[in-house]
Amino acid sequence: MSEDQSKAKDASYKKRMQRKKAHIDARIDDANIDKGIIVLLTGNGKGKSSSALGMICRALGYDMKIGVAKFLKGDQDTGEDIFLAKQPNVQISRMKTGFTWDTQDKAYDIAMAAETWTEAQAYLKDKSLDLVVLDELTYMISYKYLDESAVLDALNNRPKDQHVVITGRAASENLIKIADTVSEVKDIKHAFRENIKAQKGIDL
């Protein structure tokens, strides 16, 4: 490539980046609404709850106060549970049943879901909480353990600046509609299908 060709290529690249910057700057200027948002993380892939934990860490960096309601996973001893238990700005509620296939008792599962939802509702009414995480909530709706209309009503009537993160597979259309940001995590490959057990610090 000649020197003139190299200069022309550099100039073309610079123009493209200038146009891109102008577009991004304009979009940032247009984004002038300040409100609490709902982030929905769904799909069959690994990483939804881990992404929610990342947002918890981000919020903790700003000294924000957080409420976490964990549905479905129960009293599993995970690294994030150990970490969050040490955080004074984090309140945690856990559904006591664990996985539904462990209890094999639908009535008990429904009762425990309702108990955890009562605690989650309290978070959604608490103006002092900046962020509420509803981990695996989608299952409670798809299994019909919780009334979806009651969940939607609580989300719609939360404090206006409170952010919410919802995780779980097979999110309902109504949850998708109410959310401000929706991300679907796709399952391409998982170590468990190769008979590799859950690894501390990665899966636990």
What per-residue confidence (pLDDT) applies to 192?
A: 66
Q: Is the pLDDT reported for residue 42 higher than 90?
A: yes
pLDDT of residue 166: 98
Residue 100 in this model has a pLDDT that exceeds 60? no
The mean predicted confidence, pLDDT, of the chain is 88
pLDDT of res. 90: 97
pLDDT recorded at residue 72 = 79
* pLDDT confidence of residue 101: 54
| Dihedral over Cα of 153, 156, 157, 163: its sign | positive
* CA gap 5, 2 in Å, rounded: 5
pLDDT tens, position by position, 115-135: 999 999 999 999 999 999 999
CB-CB neighbours of 181 under 10 Å = 10
Residue 168 has pLDDT above 70, yes or no: yes
Give the angle 14-17-20 at the CA atoms, nearest 5°: 155
Return the residue matching tokens 């940032």: 28
pTM: 0.84
Q: How far apart are CA 88 and CA 106, in angstroms?
A: 34
Q: What is the pLDDT of residue 34?
A: 82
Task: Provide the 3-class DSSP secondary structure of residue 110.
Answer: helix
Summarised one tens digit per residue, pLDDT across range 46-97 is: 899 999 999 999 999 999 999 999 997 655 567 888 899 899 999 999 987 7
Q: Which of 89, 75, 159, 177 is nearest to 121 (CA)?
A: 159
Please enumerate in sequence order all residues whose Cβ is within 8 A of that of 110, keeping only pairs 6 or more positions apart, or say none: 145
